[in-house]
Amino acid sequence: MLFARGAPVIYSGDEQGFTGDGHDQDAREDMFKSKVAVYNDNRLIGSDASTAEDNFDPSHPLYRSLGEFAALYRAHPALRRGEQISHFAAETAGIYAFSRIDVQSGAALLVAINSADTPQNARLSTLKASGITADEPGLLLGDGQAVRDAASGDLQLHLPPLSFAVWGLYDKE
């Protein structure tokens, strides 16, 4: 949800896969080697390391991914200040799709998230109604497909399980 409206929030330790035990004082450990048993029994996301080891690792997959997200956020003003329009929301686990539009430049991006543990499809017929007339969605980040239906103008999305994608929406020239 870093690309949705509002200030993106990344907690200290997210980039190293820290999970914490919850409850205010146990929410986050530091990145130094820990001798605290209640921290050292936590499983870290994306790593076989433990908090008993030094955990500042710029090669950690979450560290690298968050860096990619930040670069995209910096590169596209629509993600920082753009209007947000919801286009599709599954009633249960599945796809949520929204666009971010920079009204100053007209640039538009489409963000889709699949919260299901199975591949999901969604047909977006609301883009034209929202004033987005782009012909060519260009994948900027993530994993997914977006195909424009030439007859209807709808955009058909396909996302793998537990994935997301961000597309730039461009007009053919």
**What is the pLDDT averaged over residues 62-69?**
94
Instruction: Please check whether residues 154 and 106 belong to one and the same domain.
Output: yes
- Tell me the residue type at 95: I
In angstroms, the CA 173 to CA 164 distance is 28
Residue 131's pLDDT is what?
Answer: 62
Instruction: Please check whether residues 87 and 165 belong to one and the same domain.
Output: yes
Q: Which of 28, 47, 75 is the last residue of a domain?
A: 75
Q: Starting at the edge strand that comes first in sequence, how are the strands of the sheet with 120-124 ordered?
A: 120-124, 155-159, 145-148
Cα dist from 30 to 21, 33, 39, whole Å: 13, 8, 10
User: Residue 49: pLDDT above 60?
Assistant: yes
Instruction: Please check whether residues 67 and 99 belong to one and the same domain.
Output: no
User: Residue 172: pLDDT above 50?
Assistant: no
Residue 134's pLDDT is what?
Answer: 62
Instruction: Please check whether residues 108 and 142 belong to one and the same domain.
Output: yes
142: left (phi over 0), alpha (psi -120 to 50) or beta: left
Residue 25's pLDDT is what?
Answer: 66
User: Residue 17: pLDDT above 60?
Assistant: yes
Instruction: Please check whether residues 100 and 147 belong to one and the same domain.
Output: yes
Instruction: Please check whether residues 32 and 94 belong to one and the same domain.
Output: no
Instruction: Please check whether residues 66 and 87 belong to one and the same domain.
Output: no
Range of the domain at 102: 81-170
Instruction: Please check whether residues 94 and 24 belong to one and the same domain.
Output: no
Residue 34's pLDDT is what?
Answer: 86
Instruction: Please check whether residues 32 and 66 belong to one and the same domain.
Output: yes
113-152 pLDDT, tens digit per residue, is 999 999 999 999 867 656 666 666 889 999 999 988 888 8
User: Residue 80: pLDDT above 50?
Assistant: yes
Q: Which of 46, 75, 104 is the last residue of a domain?
A: 75
Instruction: Please check whether residues 86 and 153 belong to one and the same domain.
Output: yes
More reliable by pLDDT, 166 or 24: 166
Instruction: Please check whether residues 87 and 162 belong to one and the same domain.
Output: yes
Which residue shows structure tokens 């969604």? 122
Q: Which of 75, 105, 122 is the last residue of a domain?
A: 75
Residue 1's pLDDT is what?
Answer: 76
List the CATH number of the domain containing 136: 2.60.40.1180
Residue 115's pLDDT is what?
Answer: 98
- If one counts the domains in the chain, the total is 2
Q: Structure pTM?
A: 0.85
Per-residue pLDDT band at 100 (split at 50, 70, 90): very high
Which residue shows structure tokens 């870093």? 2
